[in-house]
Amino acid sequence: MILEKKLENLGRLSRFDVTGLSRFFGLRPYLKDAPFIYPAVGFKGRCVNLFKVLQTNLCRHNCFYCANRRARDCLRLSFSPLELAKLFLHFYKKKFVDGLFLSSAIYPDPNIAQENMYITLRIIRKADFQGYIHTVILPGVDDYLIKKIAVLSDRLSLNLEAPSERYLSKLSPDKNFKDQLLKGLEKLSCLNRERPLKAGITTQLVVGAAGETDKEILSVSTNLYSKFSLDRVYYSGFVPVKDTPLESKPPCSPIREMRLYQADFLLRRYGFRLEELVFDDRGNLSQGCDPKLAWAKTHLDFFPLEINSASKEELLRVPGIGRISCERIVNLRRQKRISNLEDLRNTGTVIKRARDFITLNGKFYPSKKKMFLSLREEKQLFLWEEL
């Protein structure tokens, strides 16, 4: 009974840590009664079920947005390492989960909290579990502990939470942006360089709680990708929690979260530079139009592109042509000239979106209707990276 309570609560509370695009795509826990099993959508839309819990929700910090903050009156629970390891292995053997995502609040101090996580992982690995483990590194943890955990993990993350000290002070006043968070990420990055982790390192930013702009967020992400070789930056839209200082603040719109992910894709995988993205006067992306289409509409001189002669880099700039369809177009061109929309459609190109920006054998096929997709279509497309 007590274990069930711990599983339910510490699983539910771990939802604030983002492991993929799950929350944005509205994916529910794998089983209705199992809020500790989450499908995480990774690259290329692959979905894995993660056993996702906190080791404890006892916390010495008082972050303004967090359900686990010290001053909040709520049920406090902790797993012993053996308890948690046994539970995970039980669900793994039953084939309900493929991997583990382990996080924790910080109590009584970062080293003790992280040591408990380490012991949990060690028991799991000793039981011969070879699968995926993502471990969250807590801010302020000693280096020796990070190294020990890295050996047992496929992916490490440390949450930066905000794009700068100024914004962090509005969310987590006890934490130090440079010395704890940024330095912590730098350490993970060095470790990853010396002994690469299978699934690299990631971080998470809370969006919409501190007044930061999309441009500030994406500027930090760009730096993190280039300086620390991060695998992913996750954007966690702020959700107000009852009985916290930010409870009356409106939640971050899911569309804002999606636009950030779309822009992030353009920066990481489509060869776009931050300066090329279109921001409004306040430094935010358009919510009504995806960032690639927004760029195309402000660079009409770049279009129309002839599909049969455009370079790969040029093709990737066309709305509706993603990385997979771009490859298919290049392969098809080796066999024949592409001269009709049907051939192009068969490459996976989204014709509805692309037709205003291309020619086929010199012929232009403009759309009669507007080129916007519904939000549902956009989400679907995004899973396949066909922006």
Q: Cβ closer to ligand SF4: 59 or 199?
A: 59
Burial of 273 (0-12, 13-18, 19+ CB in 10 A): exposed
Q: Which of 6, 15, 23, 69 binds ligand SF4 (CB under 6 A)?
A: 69
Asked whether position 105 contacts ligand SF4 by CB under 6 A, the answer is yes
Minimum CB separation of residue 61 from ligand SF4 in Å reads 4
User: Whose Cβ is closer to ligand SF4: residue 246's or residue 293's?
Assistant: 246
By CB under 6 A, is residue 61 in contact with ligand SF4?
Answer: yes
Residue 66 or 209: the one with the smaller Cβ distance to ligand SF4 is 66
Residue 162 in contact with ligand SF4, rule: CB under 6 A: no
How near is the Cβ of 103 to ligand SF4 at its closest, in Å?
8
Q: Mapped to the 3 state alphabet, what secondary structure does the chain carry?
A: CHHHHHHHHHHHHHHHCCCCCCCCCCCCCCECCECCEEEEECHHHCEEEEEEEECECCCCCCCCCCCCCCCCCCCCCECCHHHHHHHHHHHHHCCCCCEEEEECCCCCCHHHHHHHHHHHHHHHHHCCCCCEEEEECCCCCCHHHHHHHHHHCCEEECCCECCCHHHHHHHCCCCCHHHHHHHHHHHHHHHHHHCCCCCCEEEEEEECCCCCCHHHHHHHHHHHHHHHCCCEEEEEECCCCCCCCCCCCCCCCHHHHHHHHHHHHHHHHCCCCHHHCCECCCCCECCCCCHHHHHHHCCHHHCCEECCCCCHHHHCCCCCCCHHHHHHHHHHHHHCCCCCHHHHHCCCCCHHHHHHHEEECCEECCCCCCCCCCHHHHHHHHHCCCC
Of residues 175-214, which lie at the interface with ligand SF4 (CB under 6 A)?
none
Binding mask 254-293 for ligand SF4 (x = CB under 6 A): ----------------------------------------
Residue 97 interacts with ligand SF4 (CB under 6 A): yes or no: no
User: According to CB under 6 A, which one of 21, 37, 41, 59 is a site residue for ligand SF4?
Assistant: 59
* Residue 137 binds ligand SF4, judged by CB under 6 A: no
Our CB check for ligand SF4 shows the closer of 57 and 325 to be 57
Q: Least distance from C-beta 168 to ligand SF4, angstroms? A: 11
Interface stretch with ligand SF4, choices 43-51, 65-73, 327-335, 366-374 (CB under 6 A)? 65-73
- Please pick, from the candidates 10, 21, 41, 66, the single residue that binds ligand SF4 as defined by CB under 6 A: 66
| Contact pick of 10, 40, 53, 63 for ligand SF4 (by CB under 6 A) | 63
Evaluate whether 158 touches 140 at the Cβ level (below 8 Å): no
Q: Which of 59/197 has CB closer to ligand SF4?
A: 59
Per the document, the length of the chain is 387
Q: Cα–Cα distance between 201 and 42 in angstroms, integer?
A: 14
Min dist. Cβ of residue 243 to ligand SF4 (A): 13
Of 64 and 129, CB closest to ligand SF4 = 64
The piece of 2-10, 61-69, 290-298, 341-349 that touches ligand SF4 (CB under 6 A) is 61-69
C-alpha to C-alpha distance for 338 and 328, rounded to whole angstroms: 11
Query: What is the nearest approach in angstroms of ligand SF4 to the Cβ of residue 76?
Result: 12
Is 113 among the residues that bind ligand SF4 (CB under 6 A)? no
Q: How far is the CB of 368 from ligand SF4 (least distance, A)?
A: 51
246 contributes a contact to ligand SF4 by CB under 6 A? no
Candidates 89, 105, 123; CA nearest to 55 is 105
Residues in CB range of 376: below 8 A, 6 or more apart: none
Does residue 15 interact with ligand SF4 by CB under 6 A?
Answer: no
- Pick one of 19, 55, 68, 153: the residue that binds ligand SF4 (CB under 6 A): 68
- Interface pick for ligand SF4 out of 106, 158, 162, 218 (rule CB under 6 A): 106
Count CB atoms within 10 A of the CB of residue 102. Answer: 27
Residues at the contact surface with ligand SF4, assessed by CB under 6 A: 59, 61, 63, 66, 68-69, 105-106, 172
